[in-house]
Amino acid sequence: MKKIFLFVLILVVTSSYAQTVKSKILKLKYTTPESWTATEFGGTLNWDEKGNELCRCSGIAFSKPDKNGKFNVVIYAVPNGGLDSTKREFVGPLHFENVEKVEKTTNKNFAFEKRRSNFYDVRAKKASYNCIRYITKPTEGHCYIIYAWQENTNLLNSTSEKALTEMVNAIEPL
């Protein structure tokens, strides 16, 4: 009886930790770090159909609660020719304020064009959270746009950037 209880306990504990998810639709694989949750949205055949309140397109929304403001990472799948799509410049009512300064960066899975800026809340008509936008180098005719931010009106600091980068690094192409 003790062995069965111990086995069930181990099974419950290991299942509560990060799990690797393969999204064949989005051609991505991701392992959510501890305390992060993920929700896929959008069409199953066409990345520009359906969607949700974040975008009328396909993607994944990751979030993690934090005492200083929730962490968010949203990734949009972008088909050939879709990089200029206006809808992917928004995360719900938040519009990414584009900047000229571009950093080139890589992780073990992607090469990125990285821009640091802020969102503009079109509903409230005012500047909003600081944000980092990554655009991946095209892979097999498509790419991804990734937005990472903390729901906090202060500038992103090294601790919050580390948490956001950990989630971005957990995303891989299939």
- Tens of pLDDT, residues 139-161: 788 889 999 999 988 888 888 99
Dihedral sign computed on CA atoms, order 120, 160, 62, 166? positive
- Tens of pLDDT, residues 62-105: 999 999 999 999 999 988 776 667 888 999 999 999 888 999 99
Domain presence at residue 66? yes
Which residue from 152, 139, 80, 79 is spatially nearest to 112, judged by alpha carbons? 139
Domain presence at residue 153? yes
- In single-letter form, the type of residue at position 62 comes to F
Task: Print the domain residue range for 131.
Answer: 18-173
| Cα 19 to Cα 36: distance, rounded to the nearest angstrom | 10
**What is the domain count for the chain?**
1
CATH number of the domain enclosing 126? 2.60.120.1690
* Contacts of residue 11, Cβ cutoff 8 Å, sequence gap at least 6: none
Residue 166 has pLDDT above 80, yes or no: yes
Domain presence at residue 10? no
Domain presence at residue 44? yes
pLDDT band at residue 17, thresholds of 50, 70 and 90? low
Domain presence at residue 13? no
Q: What percent of the chain has pLDDT over 70?
A: 88
The rounded mean pLDDT for the chain is 85
pLDDT band at residue 47, thresholds of 50, 70 and 90? confident
Domain presence at residue 124? yes
Domain presence at residue 7? no
58 neighbors 75 (Cβ within 8 angstroms): no
| Cα 170 to Cα 117: distance, rounded to the nearest angstrom | 22
Domain presence at residue 12? no
Give the pLDDT score at 10. Answer: 39
